[in-house]
Amino acid sequence: MYDKLPVPGRNDACWCGSGKKYKKCHAAEDDRLDQLYHEGEEVLPRSLIKTAKDIEGIKASAAVNMGVLDLVGERICAGTTTMDINEWVEEYLGAHDAVSADLNFEGYPYSVCTSINDVVCHGFPNKEDVLKDGDIINVDMSTIKGGYFSDSSRMFCIGDVSPERKRLVDVCHDSVKAGLAAVKPWGHLGDVGAAVNKVCQDAGYSVVEEYGGHGIGVEFHEDPFVGFTTEAGTGPILMPGMCFTIEPMVNAGKHDITIDRENGWIVRTADGSDSAQWEVQLVVTDTGYELLSW
């Protein structure tokens, strides 16, 4: 087999833990993956395929992750500080037997990312960052529950937001929908990025190249990297059971970014233009995809 992982006998139990015989479970898919690999396609190892048990665990984690974002949506308003959001997150996670995947990840010091206006991603919660009428903010939430990881983010418009900012937020959301529509089993991951990028470019916006989505489930960041400036028909094959995020970061101006030299985390647009991001988590199915966290 292309990935050097064990292959059960046809009448043995399938490697996925379904309890079915291999020949009635993953044998045909494995043969197809092996054939695609030898035809020169980029095929990820089967170890990245999520089992039914994995998906059940991810959904339990995602229920908490989405619950946090629902809570933020109910409370956030002008006068909210981004540290308030961090405190809401920690309280909610503690009450639901879960922890933040962000906290202490590669040294990140908070439980959530709060990115306002020209902040592209990784914004630090801060008592001095008080949301005001007209702001837009991305709240990026990642949760660990029962050993499984979930990840999604939402944009929030504070009070009376300008038409220009509202359009940026809406176009970014539309681009995620276009990316989801491009998820087809046995298609290419590049199809997703190409669909996202077209929506953004057609609207006159640019997509950040350095950051993107990622595989996720049993680890926070797994393969593959999910870029959003890719070409259709390129990249890894979309295997049923692949779990990843779609999370374009869309700038009203140019795609160039800067990273805060002091903390090494906060990313801003280089030209000071606004930025928006929505994030969803999905698993590829035999017929398309299933949303897990949004």
Give CA–CA dist 175/250, Å, rounded.
Answer: 9
For 148-168, what is each residue's pLDDT tens digit?
A: 999 999 999 999 999 999 999
pTM (2 d.p.) = 0.96
| 206-207/280-284 β-pairing | unpaired
For 218-272, what is each residue's pLDDT tens digit?
A: 999 999 999 999 999 999 999 999 999 999 999 999 999 999 999 999 999 999 9
The pLDDT value recorded for residue 41 is 98
* Structural domains of the chain in order of their starting residue, each with its CATH number: 1-40 (no CATH), 48-293 (3.90.230.10)
Per DSSP, the residues of 33-52 read: HHHHHHTT-----GGGSPPH
- Give the 3-state secondary structure of residue 205: coil
Strands of 249-251's sheet in order across = 206-207, 249-251, 275-277
CA-closest candidate to residue 244, choices 228, 226, 232: 226
